[in-house]
Structure 1
Amino acid sequence: MKAIVARDYGPPSSFALADVAVPTAGPGQIQVRIAAASLNPGDIVIPGGAYPVRLTFPHVLGNDFAGTVSAVGEGVTAYSIGDEVFGHSVPRALGALAGAKNPSVTTGTLAQYAVFEAGTPFIAHRPASLDVAAAAALPTVGLTARALITRAEPKPGETVLVIGATGGVGTTVLPLLDGCRVIATGRPGDRDVLLGRGATEVIGYDDYPAGGVDLVLNLVRPTDQLREAARSLKRGGRLFTITFPPPRPEMIDREDVRFELVLDVDGDLGGMREVVGLSPLITGRYRLEEGVRALTDFAGHHTVGKLVVMV
């Protein structure tokens, strides 16, 4: 089969479209004929060697997908051949980060076929109301956006600062802040898109308000670089982040602020069935043969929303 692979640690320009063996479904697994996959930062960062993860090469890239079940392993009863499915998994090499309850791991979704664990909340049947491209774009950003809203509990009338609003998570979470005054960070050219997704105001990446913010959602900055953002919060405000390193009070010098990392590796805050009503923003579509260019564009350009590879 055809797949986008990393042959060694390196930048996206070193990735390649290659022929690799079709993975087979073992006990408790499903094989899926991939129809579409979307790109995430991990597709670049992990094979780039930034994390101490030992990959086996050639490494097939990709986490998020939509497709059709093409084979079922022994013991699988929730899925049948021909079922339309979608979801999120991490490379098998990162299995230790996939959660302890029902880990969702894959052989790589930027490929014609991939294998997944069947018994995980991060894979579900795709409803007919969700088209293939949207289903592939939704998993990681939808799960993250929903977890953020569940934990942060924004209330109508509150002022919310969204740092990194132009990305996949940001453009998915903005519509969920209905009723709030939403200040979104972005570039001048992003203004119309962000206002259309629900932002009230668009500011530069370092132009934080002087105060009056109830809630900060940090989607891009390293957690130890949020001191200035924290100063925009009212006394008793909340700051939620999806980035590392894990937050510590001294990073923001605000003992009165609730400062937390949102990382739901076990799906305790909801799985794929709970995010089907969310609306990801797709701004680029590529064919599998263009997968290397898609990853190169994603790494080198300012991307708004999600990029999808149609397989």
Structure 2
Amino acid sequence: MNETMRAVVARDYGSPELLAVEDMPIPRPGPGQIQVRVEAAALNGGDLDLLRGRMADVAPLEFPHVPGMDFAGTVTEIGEGVTRFAVGDDVFGTGFPRATGRFSAAFCSPLSLTSGAMAEYAVLDADAPAVTHRPPALDAERAAALPISGLTALQLLREGQIQPGETVLVIGATGGVGSVLVPLLAVAEAHVIATAGADDEDHVRRLGAEEVIDYRTADVVAEASRRYPDGVDAVVNIALPADRLIDVSRTVRRGGRLMNAVHPAPEPGTYERDDLALGTINSAARPGDLEELAGWANDGWLPAAIGRRYRLDDGPRAYRDLVQEHTRGKLIVMMDR
């Protein structure tokens, strides 16, 4: 094995413009860890939150920093005490940067910790349920697109306790989380109302949305209230900042639910209603969650929602595109060798 690898690297906090592809030492696994030759990695907004220092008080980075949480690849080396995986196993999953261990243990447990997935090799903790075997029928790019988005969607579905026939407004349906959540809601026999631009209407309808509100030409709150004067059963927010959720809560019926996946969460006491069930979720992996998501993808319940593919050399540009351009589904970086 070569002693160095190529990786997307940040040398300090800042914007995606600071990212570059550099040669880095290949990380080696310690006790309880596995080394993975990464085949595909997916971008997440959380990568950029960490890079910009928005979570530095609770999740400080160590530099040079390799971003990237979601990955798929092949085990190339195992550390002492690892029995769950063997060299040659195809795996996929997600992990927080190793330096943020205190934060991830407190808020996102039990995710693995990683040396950074946007690289040719990564090291991860082997015992976390957020890393698992990849089924042979699930290709690497689809597997890499699943973890954070899928685990977040599962948490939202569980938190919302959605029942067949209920109306659910999904704000931010075209992104990675929405591309998993909308099909799962449709399978749960919910009536899904998705927000999406006109160019994405066919996409979200294929995912399972029965109604679409074009957020570019209509006020979402006003339009949802016009269609459902008594309110929808639940709203899932995957896009709007906390200060917009007071208005959004007006679209929810009495006794309904508002679930939020955007951080930071609204301050306590933000809402004047005492009948509204509120929940802000963090990504978490229960044993079997990734396996369940992989099974649904194999069975066709979760359509492939990959917006664009990049080579590793274009990894910094992929992060710039995530910020500057409208994206549909997940952005995937393939490791070319």
TM over 0.5: yes
CA shift at 1:270, angstroms? 5.3
Spell out the pairing of 1:13-92 with structure 2 (5 A cutoff): 13-52=17-56, 53-92=59-98
The match for 2:195 is: 185
Distance, in Å, in 2 between the alignment partners of 1:220 and 1:27 is: 39
2:95–2:124 Cα contact (<8 Å) kept: yes
**Alignment partner of 1:20: what SS?**
strand
Counterparts of 1:269 and 1:251, CA distance in 2? 34
Report what 1:306 is aligned to: 330
The gaps in structure 2 that reach 5 residues or longer are: none
Residues 92-115 of structure 1 show CA distances to partners (whole Å, capped at 9, x for unaligned) of 122122225644110000101000
Distance in 1 separating the partners of 2:61 and 2:264: 22
| Structure 1 vs Structure 2 CA RMSD | 1.6
Name the SS for the 1:81 alignment partner: coil
Q: Partner of 2:291 in structure 1?
A: 273
Q: Sequence identity of aligned pairs in percent? A: 47
Task: Give the Cα separation in 2 of the matches to 1:151 and 1:49.
Answer: 29
Letter paired with 2:196: G
User: 1:271: how far off?
Assistant: 3.2
- Where does 1:257-272 land on structure 2 (aligned, <5 Å)? 257-265=276-284, 267-268=285-286, 271-272=289-290
SS in 1 for 2:146: helix
Give the count of matched residue pairs. 310
Q: Which amino acid aligns with 1:34?
A: V
Secondary structure, counterpart of 1:60 in structure 2: coil
Task: Give secondary structure in 1 for the equivalent of 2:9.
Answer: strand
Q: Are 2:213 and 1:203 aligned? A: yes
1:294 to 305, 318, 322: 318
- 1:185 maps to a residue whose letter is T
Distance 1:35 1:123 in 2: 15
Q: Does 1:284 align with 2:303?
A: no
User: Which has the higher mean CA deviation after the structures are superposed, 288-297 or 15-24?
Assistant: 288-297
**Greater Cα shift, 273-282 or 119-128:** 273-282
- Alignment-mate amino acid for residue 214 of structure 1: D
- Tell me, yes or no, if the aligned pair for 1:224 and 1:245 is still in contact at 8 Å: no
For the residues of structure 2 that align with 1:305 and 1:175, how far apart are their CA atoms?
13
> What is aligned with 2:99?
93
Q: Distance in 2 between matches of 1:207 and 1:220?
A: 12
TM-score normalised by length of structure 1: 0.95
**Residue type matched to 1:189 in 2?**
D
Return structure 1 stretches of 4+ with deviation > 6 angstroms. none
What is the aligned partner in structure 2 of residue 133 from structure 1? 141
Richer in helix (by share) = 2
TM-score of the two chains, using structure 2 as the length reference: 0.88
Q: Which residue of 1 aligns with 2:273?
A: 254
Deviation at 1:135, TM superposition (A): 0.4
* Aligned twin of 1:108: 116
Distance 1:69 1:268, change over 3 A: closer
Match of 1:154 among 149, 152, 162: 162
The verdict on how the C-alpha distance between 1:37 and 1:79 changes in structure 2, with shifts beyond 3 A counting, is same
Mapped to 2, the partners of 1:201 and 1:13 lie a distance apart of 38
Which residue of the partner structure matches residue 221 of structure 1? 240
